[in-house]
Amino acid sequence: MVVFDKPKALADVSMHYCPGCTHGIVHRLVAEVIDELGIEGKTIGVAPVGCSVMAYNYFNCDMIEAAHGRAPAVATGVKRANPSEHIVFTYQGDGDLASIGMAETVHAAARNENITIIFINNAIYGMTGGQMAPTSLPGQVTQTSPYGRDVNHCGYPIRVCEMLSELEGPEYLERVTVNNVKNVNKAKKAIKKAFQNQIDGKGFSLIEVVSTCPTNWGMTPANALKWLDENMLPYYPLGVYKDRSAKEE
């Protein structure tokens, strides 16, 4: 008897992610939700440029690789091509979503585009080897902030959920993390709601997942989780930042 198996929506290939990276957990949560909602056959995912650039190989649904930052615009096109038959999600990192693709993110949210965005915030550019991200913390040492992020020089990190929550447009914004079992379960619930919202035609749902990057943070996976708890979560508080339907009920 199989007691533990891969979700059906997850491809049977080995991923390229580093040991301890939380991308694997989030991929799995997305795939589990796709399975549970029975939507694999109509789901089209849009992968970013960044560490999860090859996410298109890891999901069994149709996948599109977008240019850096443009996933929300690509997703808009796919969704509007056939709104009733396409379930569309993007999977983006912090550099992709909050730096080069900020305009696409904000405007998709403002339009309440009926898509689901999974936003991985690990406060660093992983794929290019650990440069400062728009979400890197004040004082955080990276390859391009070797003396620590100096907010007087390069400004402050962007809290995406808080920022988008000021817009009329978006339906649902929640920040979650995957640093322990309890939070993983919460994250899955949020991701499921974000997909269900799309099925129900409610509109733009973005789940920000506060994540780790042990390799580029220069820590063991366990220490990275501890660092996340002590540094990331105080700056990026977990919770629901917008839930229009709940407010209306």
Position 73, amino acid:
A
- Between CA 238 and CA 174 the distance in angstroms is 7
Q: Does 125 bind other proteins (CB under 8 A)?
A: no
Please report, in angstroms and rounded to a whole number, the separation of the first and last CA atoms in the chain.
44
139 scored as a contact of other proteins (CB under 8 A): no
Of how many residues is the chain composed?
249
**Comparison of 52 and 197: residue with beta carbon closer to other proteins:** 52
Q: Which is nearer to other proteins, 42 or 226 (CB)?
A: 42
DSSP state of 96: I
Give CA 56 to chain center in angstroms: 15
The least distance separating other proteins from the CB of residue 145, rounded to whole angstroms, comes to 27
Contact between 103 and other proteins by CB under 8 A: the answer reads yes
- Binding to other proteins (CB under 8 A) within 185-214 occurs at none
Q: Which stretch binds other proteins (CB under 8 A): 20-28, 69-77, 132-140, 149-157?
A: 69-77
Give least dist CB 120 to other proteins, A: 18
User: Taking a C-beta distance cutoff of 8 angstroms, is the pair 176, 161 a contact?
Assistant: no
The backbone region for 78, taken as left when phi is positive above 0, alpha when psi lies in -120 to 50, beta otherwise, is: alpha
Stretch that binds other proteins, among 34-42, 117-125, 156-164, 227-235 (CB under 8 A): 34-42
Q: In whole angstroms, give the CA distance from residue 161 to residue 167.
A: 10
- Does 159 contact other proteins by CB under 8 A? no
Q: Does 73 bind other proteins (CB under 8 A)?
A: yes
Q: Is 82 in the site for other proteins (CB under 8 A)?
A: yes
Q: From CA 220, how far away is CA 136, in angstroms rounded?
A: 19
CB of 78 to other proteins, least distance (A): 4
Q: Is 17 helix (H, G, I), strand (E, B) or coil?
A: coil
* Of the residues 27, 28, 70, 244, which one makes contact with other proteins according to CB under 8 A: 70
CA separation for the pair 169, 185 (Å, rounded):
27
Contact residues: other proteins, CB under 8 A: 11, 40-44, 46, 53-54, 56-57, 59-67, 70, 73-82, 85-87, 103-104, 106-107
